[in-house]
Amino acid sequence: MTDPTPAPTEPAQPDAMAATAIHALIGLAATVAVAESLTGGLVCAALTSVPGASAVMRGGVIAYATDLKAALLGVDSELLAREGAVHPDVAVAMARGVATRLDAEYGVATTGVAGPEPQDGHPVGQVYIAVAVGDEVVVRALSLDPVLGRSGIQAATVVAALQLLNDMLAQVEGP
């Protein structure tokens, strides 16, 4: 299911968001793994910066090159050949693949174009994030402003990925 979400409009606190996710995972006795492309390890770094993360963090895979998405995460090579790396189905496959390959309950994935140039016909700022847990996967499309620049797009993607993870965790925890 694709959940189009606009870019965050107010400053987010990725450290606090990562801490919320880690504490929720600890409370659920659940684990998480991260598959990253455009964020290059930034989501994993945010999560592992939280004290106690080792209790729930399984690891991360930085599959920056398209062929590594297939080789390391099990993303269908025909999907990659047909759609390229920037596609909602690729984000879903990455999230499921990292959860499976690293034996985690939750899989988080990021793929998109940070810039400075468009990639495979996709504009700078087009991003897909996904979180998988069991048979459920939620993918969100982001259209980030290219004015943010490469690091700004990466930072906004980290925030969005942590928010999606927290949203999924909150569904399990309840009100």
Confidence of residue 13 (pLDDT cuts 50, 70, 90): confident
* Selection from 141, 131, 83, 81 nearest residue 108 by Cα: 131
- What is the per-residue pLDDT for 84? 96
- What's the fold here for domain 14-173? Maf protein (3.90.950)
Q: Is the pLDDT of residue 6 over 50?
A: no
Q: For residues 65 and 32, what is the distance between their CA atoms, to the nearest angstrom?
A: 22
List pLDDT tens digits, range 58-109.
999 999 999 999 999 999 999 999 999 999 999 999 999 999 999 999 999 9
At residue 149, what is the residue type? G
> Mean pLDDT in the chain?
93
